Chains A and B, each alone.
Chain A
């Protein structure tokens, strides 16, 4: 077993291994600096390039901004499917699944006036449903539509309460 490293060699190997990890970590963080900055400052994560060009772009809302809004000032909309919504959603949020928008839109329009302020979220991590729903509602005439891009994961991670079932 002459290929077995000695103690000194093992120390050098571990040092080089640590250097590989450090170098790659710094490179990764530098290359993705913009994304990390967006996440840390609670800004939108989806790049506008991934959305259709020429469409209306909803404004992002960060977690601190959302928390500072007085209760009832905005209507929270959960763009995820019904099962996920029932498992847990932001307090007082209403479910409007993007996948069922065609069947649910008319009832929503009859119930919610177009001057109502809306904040839409979904599952975070690049989930596009909240953006797509926001764009659709803007096309339908809703003027103040914002997207909370961190969605349920960022909300839960901040230790904020989550409601189950219907609000």
Chain B
């Protein structure tokens, strides 16, 4: 049982980090398309959609990279957890307003329902919590 804990931690860290690196890269490659996907949420004004689309993928990418290389794990997990919380709030607002759009979570044009995206984010949150509390505080 004692040996399982580090394995579980490294598995969650690498999975979470890898997913965020992937999400960051695909969105960073098409900032204009991603701005359109953010615009579909009808939350931000025109120019801010572009500002978020050009910066958010790099936050995902850097936080994901830090997890993958096992550096500043707790701070990077805090960033990822915070982003995930914002994503879940934005997705919930879609449900409340009855908007049925593609979530824009990963690859542009990939059609994931809002409910499926919320469940996926809840899973990512579990990974983030396991990673945060499983990490060695001296290496945080």
Which residues of A pack against B, CB within 8 Å? 3-5, 9, 13-14, 16-17, 19-21, 23-25, 27-29, 31-32, 35-36, 39-40, 45-46, 123-127, 150, 153-154, 157-158
* Contact of B11 with A by CB under 8 A: no
Contacts of A40 in B (CB 8 A): 47
Residue in B35, B57, B75, B82 whose beta carbon sits within 8 Å of that of A28 in the complex = B57
* Contact of B74 with A by CB under 8 A: yes
Q: Which residue of B lies closest to A63 (CB)?
A: B46
Indicate whether A17 sits within 8 Å of B58 (C-beta atoms), given known contacts A3-B137, A36-B50, A125-B49.
Answer: no
* Contact of B33 with A by CB under 8 A: yes
For chain B, residues 34 to 51, give those with C-beta under 8 angstroms from any C-beta of chain A.
35-36, 39, 45-47, 49-51
* Contact of B118 with A by CB under 8 A: no
Check A24 against B36 for contact (C-beta < 8 Å).
no
Q: Which residue of A lies closest to B54 (CB)?
A: A32
Give the shortest distance, in Å, between B35 (CB) and chain A (any CB): 5
Which one of B60-68, B95-103, B120-128 is at the A interface?
B60-68
Check B33 against A126 for contact (C-beta < 8 Å).
yes
* Contact of B112 with A by CB under 8 A: no
* Contact of B59 with A by CB under 8 A: yes
